[in-house]
């Protein structure tokens, strides 16, 4: 008897050659997710042999769980007819995702084969392909059950049964009530129908206040709406309120995870990746990280200019220079904290756009408070650095500068995300590196101003 | 006729006093989520009056959508009997969450009242309270339908109907098949039952390979499992595989959002907040940010020591010092990028623990490549800084140091998250500030070593 552990390495090769039927039995007994994870690590040839062995139904389920780059590999290794058969077994939303990953020529080839086998599915893909993958339209499935309002509950249950047998819709638990022409009027759950009076019409039973999204809405809007109202599924309509499809909450989990990853990458100062870490090419990494670093580096060149401009002061009091990295990093660290807090609070809706002044006041106050703590530590370190009669001067200069630069960091860390949202950009582009770099340039100017003032004017 | 816009300010007060019945009609017509958002901004007195007005059923739905601190406010302003009535209308999982937020004394008072009104619900809370809120047990609802394996499909549908009428379970779409004693044997969806042969037994129809979690599993495991297998719901079992409850995917959306927020805060260098941004006290912020900053500041004091130790070199070549902030920030920025990429890729499972060496090789190579780009820019800036015969020396010193420090940043940004996971900590604690600070101290050492070598040995 073949075991799961045999599905790797030379044993797999042997099983494919010697006992394909035994292997098939093992495959159909496994969870599609596990099969997908095995295929992910196989070469193209073995992948395709396994896919063929498991039959189109299971293969379709496995294929839609593969990462996009592997989907393309598999699709390209199959004959167009085989690829079309796999597609026809998939859910409409996953089908479109796969086709969108293919090259245009290859997509046309597969679609032509699908057109011959199942013209409706091919048409549907051609329609759905128009929606950007990250929109409600790109996310939705069109396999949705809609019934007219005058349908009786018992008729509706019968229809659901028929449709479920014939078409295998994504969910049969939500039935959308649509007027002639497709305008969305309400929603009824299968649960309400089963518990309700069979003689009632759907119009009587339905909930007419359906939370909905438009097909052109961004996937983030879909995720936020589903999360906000705790919905199991949300209908997607066009600009005339006509039902186009639905998005289920399990698709939204993936969206939420994807958006969190994008935000984390932006905050880390990387242009968000299209693919997974290992599927992204070295060159793409160089571009998506290098572009940001080069821009920041050019900004940071200002620090050298500020230092040059103050070289007279530096030469006079060499001890000043030894505190530059300490003071600058305190500002950057505080800014990084403020940015993380403010950006996430905005992302989850805890901070409304109208509350920007509350946030600003809070962060400035916080900066002063944290600045006092770090400033006192800076004072002590500055004081003992010299050990001569200038000790007090230097202590005050370092302490006061730390206070100012930490306050500056907190202010920048909140103002920048607030401002980027104000001008319509994603607050997460106010990345940590950007805030740290700005805080460095301004912090250095502050340091020299404060230190020059304390050392030469006050004393 | 009262309008939604009246539900704020003095108009609300007037409506509460003069036309409570008219107000009630407006309230019951609104979505609970919208009511929750209105109540969130009201004072305790108005909140409670509104809650009383809308009746226990709607009020329970609204209450479970409020943020934890406001839930406590409302519960504390209600009589124990009223609070118990609200609880009895809530889903078991939300019920426990509310009780866990209350002070022990107050919780006992409310539970005693609930014990009199609905002893079963009170017992259930006392059981569920033992699970930490962030575990599968803390997340699950116990309102789950389980039936014995010998049940016929037609009997099962009847039972589901009865149970749904009597108990209002969280979902009726998944029926768990349990042996005598409660051991989970399989799952049947309502869809399969409706489409199946009414005379079949559940044992014949069920899928015996149920993906499940244990009650003590962390909520992150629950979320990952649901997301991995694209499940609409997942059963929770005890250590003897007995069914305890289930977690639905809509609860998991909240978990995913919560975990992303925690990760973002950790990466920003903040100890994760318990409550929302505005619900967190100033003092808690000072503690959760200050503690991290103070520790980092103490580490950063080393930069001053390194500078002091190299003051001879600095005094000799003053121009060296003007590049310190530029070079250090390049290292910090690169580290921030690597950390964001690696931490997120680990969080979503793109990087397996066994692949640490691949990541390390990738990041070091990336660091060298990015270092070459920034290093060449550094060379140019160093070259033109002097304009004398030492120009080449300084250019090489700055360029080479930038190359080294950028490589260092990329290495630290990947090694630290990998290492924190290795020792069992959340990789996200390798925060940007920590990486920047470490990179500063080591980078400064490298800079002086490289600069000293180039300026005094090579030339």
- Residue B101 is part of a domain; what is its CATH number? 1.25.60.10
Sign of the alpha-carbon torsion through B389, B392, B393, B398: positive
Confidence of residue B9 (pLDDT cuts 50, 70, 90): low
Q: Does A159 touch chain B (CB under 8 A)?
A: no
**In B41-186, alpha helices (H):** 44-63, 68-77, 80-89, 92-101, 104-117, 119-128, 136-139, 153-167
What DSSP string describes B13-31?
Answer: HHHHHH-HHHHHHHHHTS-
Which CATH number is A199's domain given? 3.10.580.10
Segment B353-369 shows an average pLDDT of: 92
Residue B270 in domain: no
Residue A138 in domain: no
Whether residue A257 sits in one domain with residue A300: no
Which residue, among A63, A257, A339, A369, would best test binding to B if mutated, counting the most B CBs under 10 Å from its CB? A257
Chain A residues inside the 8 Å CB shell of B329 = 296, 300, 303, 328, 332, 433, 436-437, 440
Whether residue A198 sits in one domain with residue A91: no
Read off the pTM.
0.81
> What is the pLDDT, as a whole number, of residue A387?
57
SS (H, E, C) A291-327: HHHHHHHHHHHHHHHHHHHCHHHHHHCHHHHHHHHHH
CA A249/CA A239 separation, integer angstroms: 23
Whether residue B250 sits in one domain with residue B176: yes
Number of inter-chain CB pairs under 8 A, A vs B: 347
Q: Are B265 and B258 in contact (CB under 8 A)?
A: no
Three-class DSSP category at B234: strand
What DSSP string describes A419-430?
Answer: HHHHTTS-GGGS
Sign of the alpha-carbon torsion through B190, B195, B200, B204: negative
Structure tokens at A302: 């200002």
Beta bridge partners, A145, equal none
Nearest CB partner across the interface for B300, out of A157, A226, A326? A326
Whether residue B358 sits in one domain with residue B310: yes
> What is the pLDDT, as a whole number, of residue A1?
43
Chain B residues inside the 8 Å CB shell of A289 = 334, 337, 366, 370
Largest separation between any pair of C-alpha atoms in chain B: 97
Chain A residues inside the 8 Å CB shell of B336 = 268-269, 431-433, 436
Residue B141 in domain: no
Tell me the pLDDT tens digit for each residue of B327-343: 999 999 999 999 999 99
Whether residue B182 sits in one domain with residue B94: no
Residue A241 in domain: yes
Question: For tokens 């006050």, what's the residue?
Answer: A458
Whether residue B191 sits in one domain with residue B80: no
Whether residue A355 sits in one domain with residue A210: no
Q: Are A322 and B308 in contact (CB under 8 A)?
A: yes
Domain boundary among A106, A130, A154: A130
A271 DSSP 8-state letter: P
Q: Does B8 touch chain A (CB under 8 A)?
A: no
CA angle, residues A396, A398, A400, in degrees to nearest 5? 60
- Nearest CA distance, A112 vs chain B (angstrom): 30
Q: In A110-242, where do the E strands start and end?
A: 146-147, 174-178, 184-189, 213-214, 233-237
Residue B272 in domain: no
Whether residue A223 sits in one domain with residue A97: no
Residue B262 in domain: no
Domains identified in chain B, total number: 3
Confidence of residue B1 (pLDDT cuts 50, 70, 90): very low
What DSSP string describes A55-110?
Answer: HHHHHHHHHTTS-HHHHHHHHHHS-HHHHHHHHHHS-HHHHHHHHHHS-HHHHHHH
Whether residue B252 sits in one domain with residue B314: no
Nearest CB partner across the interface for B340, out of A268, A276, A358? A268
Domain of residue A384 covers: 282-458
Helices (H) and strands (E) in chain A, counts: 22, 6
Q: Are B139 and B176 in contact (CB under 8 A)?
A: no
Nearest CB partner across the interface for B250, out of A230, A304, A326? A230
Whether residue A150 sits in one domain with residue A126: no
A328 phi/psi in degrees, rounded to 5: -65, -40
- Compare all CA atoms of chain A with the CA of B252 and give the residue at the minimum distance: A253
Q: Does B269 touch chain A (CB under 8 A)?
A: yes
User: Does residue B170 surpass a pLDDT of 70?
Assistant: yes
Length of chain A: 459
Whether residue B84 sits in one domain with residue B155: no
Mean pLDDT estimate for chain B: 87
CA B273/CA B86 separation, integer angstroms: 28
User: Does residue B359 surpass a pLDDT of 90?
Assistant: yes
Tell me the pLDDT tens digit for each residue of B144-159: 899 999 999 999 989 9
| Residues 339-378, chain A, touching B (beta carbon < 8 A) | 339-345, 347-348, 350-351, 355, 358-359, 362, 365-366, 369-370, 373-374, 377-378
* CA–CA distances in Å: residue A27 to residues A11, A24, A48, A123: 14, 5, 14, 32
How many Cβ atoms from other residues are within 10 Å of residue A352's Cβ?
A: 10
| Type and span of the H or E element at B237 | strand B233-237
A212 phi/psi in degrees, rounded to 5: -140, 165
**In B29-91, alpha helices (H):** 32-40, 44-63, 68-77, 80-89
| ipTM metric | 0.81
> What is the pLDDT, as a whole number, of residue B374?
94
CA A191/CA B73 separation, integer angstroms: 35
Chain A residues inside the 8 Å CB shell of B440 = 325, 329
Residue A140 in domain: no
Residue A329 in domain: yes
Question: For tokens 């039995």, what's the residue?
Answer: A25
Domain boundary among A201, A230, A263: A263
Mean pLDDT by 10 residues, chain A (459 residues): 55 80 84 86 84 87 86 88 87 84 87 88 85 89 90 91 81 90 92 88 91 92 88 92 90 87 88 87 90 88 86 77 89 92 88 89 94 93 72 87 94 92 84 88 90 74
User: Does residue B6 surpass a pLDDT of 60?
Assistant: no
């Amino acid at each position: 008897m073949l075991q799961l552990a045999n599905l790797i390495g030379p044993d797999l090769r042997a099983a494919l050659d010697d006992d394909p039927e035994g292997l098939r039995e093992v495959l159909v007994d496994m969870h599609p997710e596990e099969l997908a994870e095995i295929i992910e690590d196989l070469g193209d040839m073995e992948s395709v042999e396994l896919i063929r062995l498991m039959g189109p139904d299971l293969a379709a389920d496995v294929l839609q769980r593969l990462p996009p780059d592997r989907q393309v590999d598999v699709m390209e290794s199959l004959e167009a007819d085989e690829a079309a058969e796999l597609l026809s077994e998939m859910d409409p939303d996953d089908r479109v995702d796969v086709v969108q990953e293919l090259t245009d020529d290859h997509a046309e080839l597969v679609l032509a084969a699908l057109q011959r086998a199942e013209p409706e599915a091919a048409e549907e893909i051609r329609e759905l392909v128009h929606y950007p993958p990250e929109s409600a339209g790109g996310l939705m499935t069109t396999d949705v059950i809609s019934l007219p309002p005058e349908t009786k509950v018992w008729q509706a249950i019968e229809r659901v049964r028929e449709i479920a047998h014939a078409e295998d819709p994504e969910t049969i638990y939500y039935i959308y009530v649509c007027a002639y022409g497709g305008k969305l009027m309400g929603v009824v759950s299968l649960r309400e129908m089963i518990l309700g009076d069979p003689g009632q019409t759907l119009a009587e039973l339905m909930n007419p206040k359906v939370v909905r999204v438009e097909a052109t809405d961004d996937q983030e809007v879909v995720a936020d709406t589903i999360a906000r109202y705790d919905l199991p599924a949300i209908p997607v309509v066009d600009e005339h309120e006509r039902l186009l499809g639905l998005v289920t909450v399990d698709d939204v989990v993936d969206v939420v995870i994807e958006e969190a990853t994008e935000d984390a990458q932006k905050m880390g100062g990387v242009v968000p990746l299209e693919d997974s870490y290992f599927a992204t090419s070295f060159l793409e990494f160089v571009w998506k990280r290098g572009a940001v670093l080069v821009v920041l580096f050019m900004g940071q060149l200002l620090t050298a200019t500020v230092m040059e401009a103050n070289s007279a002061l530096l030469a006079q009091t060499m001890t000043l220079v030894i505190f530059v990295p300490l003071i600058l990093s305190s500002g950057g660290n505080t800014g990084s904290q403020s940015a993380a807090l403010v950006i996430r609070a905005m992302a989850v809706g805890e901070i409304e756009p109208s509350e920007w002044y509350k946030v600003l006041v809070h962060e400035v106050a916080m900066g002063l408070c944290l600045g006092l703590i770090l400033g006192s530590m800076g004072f002590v370190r500055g004081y003992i650095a010299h050990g001569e009669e200038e000790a007090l001067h230097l202590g005050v200069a370092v302490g006061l500068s730390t206070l100012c630069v930490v306050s500056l960091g907190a202010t920048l860390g909140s103002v920048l995300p607030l401002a980027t949202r104000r001008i319509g950009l994603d607050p997460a582009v106010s990345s940590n590196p950007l805030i740290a770099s700005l805080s460095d340039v301004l912090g250095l100017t502050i340091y020299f101003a404060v230190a020059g003032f304390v050392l030469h004017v006050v004393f």
